[in-house]
Each structure stands twice: as C-alpha cells, then as structure tokens.
Structure 1
C-alpha cells in the first residue's frame, strides 16, 4: 500500500508486520529494484520502501545529500512513530542512509550498506562529474553507462529483457535530480564522521560492482566501530535484482540479530 510521509513529501510502499525496516534504492534503479525481495522481507518486518526525493511522487529537495538525508529521516520517523528502524540502502540509497544516521543517530538501530561507501576515489568522482555534464543533454546520453554500472557484462548478455526494463525505468527519471545527485556524490566524503556511527552495520557488496567497487565497502567497514563485510561473488551494483536469494541470505540473519537478542 502506498502512503505519503513527511508532510506529504515522500511516497512509500508499506507492507508486512514486525520490526520496522526501511529500504532505500539506488540512483540508477528506482524503488522497484527491490520488488524481488519485498515479499520475503515483509513476512518478517514492517517494510517501508520510499521513493527517494525527486523519484516517483516524492518531492525533490535542494542543497545536496544532507538535505535528502534530512527529508528521508523525517519520513522514517513518521513511518515508525519515532522508533529506531533497521535501515538498508543500496548505492545512492546507501549514501543517503549513512548520511541520515550521521545526522540523526536515533533514526536507526541497524544499518546495511549494499554496494555503497563513504567516499569515492578521484576517478570515481570524475565519472560522476562526467555523467552530470552528459546528462544535461538528456538521460539518453548516459543510459548505456548507467546500465553498465548496474550490471556486469555477462549479466547483460544473459538477461537482455531485464536490462532493457531497467534502462526504460532509468529514462523515466528526472534529469535534474540525477544531475544534482551525481554532483553531490562527486564531492561527498563522509569518512571523518564514521567513528561516531555506533550502530551495528553490514557492508554488502557485489564482487563485480564497478559503480561502487568492493574497496569502498572494505573502507567503510574498516572505518565503523561495529561493522562486518559480506561479498557476493559474481554480483554487481544491485544484488537484490541479480541474485535475490543470495541477497536475502546475507541480509536477513543480520537484520534478525536485534530481534533474537531483544
């Protein structure tokens, strides 16, 4: 069921019953990228799946990643009644999630960063700057690049229908939102704040992820006081789409730890 949160600015699907779990999608794949895992997760958790600001019916925000994280944190508090949630972000959603727990420590009690990190290398920053410049001429100019960042080449070859579907969805995105996010990611560096993030964290990454390479997950796991790392061999940037069973097998036991020790 879709509902609106944060004074009508965030659209989100809500499903299931249990401890609250929030899933934040990637920049290159909208919230439907979680479609293959929502039902199994909703069997154990009360799942909130927002459209990030500027996607779907969610209202865009200015002023960069911090403002996006503030809006998302407000929506999470609205959804959970102020209760700390389990927070999972994929790609861009992971950076939003990390920024949210840095700025709003009480918003979450567990954090999963799926193919995310705290800062990009200089080549990674330049890639985002280049995408932002190219996207000024329309998302069609970067659609092929976006799909290469989502999926490894062998997955493209074996799953042309899925890749075509994701490309069509990407082309429906708001170019201004994509450009602003690329510019924010090109300057973002959350590493100085990592030591203050005290909640348990799982860094999950696909071994073939070229968008946020495994080294970024290693770095963020090493920088957080209570963190562990899981690598999904053969996966790229959206493992919940590519290998939903393995994604769930890695994530669910971690998410249940708080329940089992309560």
Structure 2
C-alpha cells in the first residue's frame, strides 16, 4: 500500500511489477468500492503484467478532496499516478464509473492509453432524476439506507447468501465509504455524458457485462460497444455488476484474450 499526492488529494494505491518491462494494466474501481475489488484479478495476472490499482478520491484510503466531483478530476488523478510511475501505453480497465473515468483519461491523455476494457459501464449512466434521488437518500439516511437495493444490483442472488462471508464483507465496504465521497461521485456520474468521446475512441476496446447486472444492464453496455469503433462485446454468465468479484476467473480469461489479440502482441 502506497500513498502519493496528486494535485489536491493524496491517493492510496498499489503498484506491482514496476520496472519489469511487462505490459501495464490499470484497474479503476466502481462507485462505493475501493481497489480491493480487483484483488482476485490482480492475483491472477500479476506475474505477467505491471499493475496499478488505486482508490479514487472520496473512496477507500484516498483523500476526500472537494466534492461534488467531475469525472475529469478522477481522470486527472489517474493521469498523475501514471505520469509519476512513468507508465504509458497502458491497458485501462474501468468498472462502472471507472469506465467513465477511462473515457475521460482517453479524452485528455490519449498518449497514456493503449486499449480499454469497459466493464459494466456506459457512455452515460442514469438520469439526473435518478442520481438526485440517490444523493438525497445518502445525505439524509447514510449509505446504509440504500444498502439492500445496491447489493441486489451488484451481486446475483446466490452470491447474496447470508452464509457468504465475502458478501457480508462487500456490504461493509460499501457502508464504510465516506458519505460525501459517495454522493460527490454520484454527482459526477449525473453530469457525465461521454457519448462523443466514445464515438472517437481509436484504440482497441472490449465491453463486458454480467448477465444479471442491475446497474448497467447488458443492453446499456451493448449501446456503448455500438458507439466505440470496432469494440467487442461479451456477456459474463452468472455475474451481476461486479464480475471481478463474483466471477474473477471468467473476467481474467476475457481480459487475457483481449490483450493477446492487441496489435503488436
């Protein structure tokens, strides 16, 4: 675990394989989670790649900064991390709001991006009314007031078993995120529309989605794949919104296949 000041925030992050000369991967976590959602994926890939994971501002052990946020702030934070470590030609993998951050990074710093895996995300997510309702609920009742409906979107019914200790752990992860950071990120998603950016992505892209995703359903993710020139689309069976947790082996297989097919590999 490392900490680095980027602009107005200190970002908590991990980096594996720096200086190895291996291809670089960066993973961007979703709303209400921290970088630990990628642990199983990182464990399956770390021998073959340089890997950066981080807690975006307002989440995990990173600073709160000044919410509400804009997606561009998250993208600038990530660019600062990549620049600090001298990472370019990076395969960026963004989950949910992480996909918007990946698009923001590509828009502002295309020199850093080799390819993008969009996981359970879209060019525009939700409506202003939806996000206002979410923000109001969190500010009035705390994140715990929306725990059950969020978890029903994140994970499939079998995973949400009371006997699944991991499920209970992810419930705890959500409710322990800073309330202002969560609401501030909701505002960033509310205001984000990367439709035109998606239409102009000129690097290889893969869009994946859990077949039971209740937050960004398969048809929505397919609409992103239809926008991004040449993008591939894949559905992960037996997963909801966070397949890197629920079906990490399937996620790793899709990512490895995508990387193996990249030009120059």
Q: Aligned partners of 2:72 and 2:243: how far apart in 1?
A: 26
Number of the residue aligned with 2:6: 6
Alignment of 1:1-150 (within 5 A): 1-4=1-4, 6=6, 9-16=10-17, 17=20, 18-62=22-66, 63-79=69-85, 81-122=86-127, 125-137=128-140, 138-150=142-154
Q: Aligned partners of 1:189 and 1:6: how far apart in 2?
A: 25
Q: Is contact 2:33–2:59 with CA below 8 Å preserved after alignment?
A: no
Q: Aligned partners of 1:199 and 1:66: how far apart in 2?
A: 20
Shift of 1:126: 3.3
Shift of 1:195: 2.2
Q: Is contact 2:99–2:119 with CA below 8 Å preserved after alignment?
A: yes
Q: Provide, for residues 157-187 of structure 1, a one-character-per-residue CA deviation record: whole Å limited to 9, x for no partner.
A: 3763222110111111011011011122123
Unaligned runs of 5+ in 1: none
What is the root-mean-square deviation of aligned Cα atoms in Å?
Answer: 1.9
Q: Provide, for residues 233-261 of structure 1, a one-character-per-residue CA deviation record: whole Å limited to 9, x for no partner.
A: 22101101101111111111212333x72
Q: Is contact 1:119–1:216 with CA below 8 Å preserved after alignment?
A: no
Provide the secondary structure at the position in 2 that maps to 1:109: strand
Shift of 1:226: 2.7
Q: Is contact 2:59–2:182 with CA below 8 Å preserved after alignment?
A: no
TM-score by length of 2: 0.90
TM-score by length of 1: 0.91
Shift of 1:215: 1.6
Which has more helix, going by share of residues? Answer: 1
Provide the secondary structure at the position in 1 that maps to 2:152: helix
1:160 equivalent to 2:164? Answer yes
Shift of 1:103: 2.0
Q: Is contact 1:117–1:220 with CA below 8 Å preserved after alignment?
A: yes
Q: Is contact 1:118–1:216 with CA below 8 Å preserved after alignment?
A: no
How many pairs does the alignment contain? 258
Unaligned runs of 5+ in 2: none
Runs of 4+ in 1 over 4 A off after TM superposition: none
Q: Provide, for residues 88-113 of structure 1, a one-character-per-residue CA deviation record: whole Å limited to 9, x for no partner.
A: 01112121112211222112111001
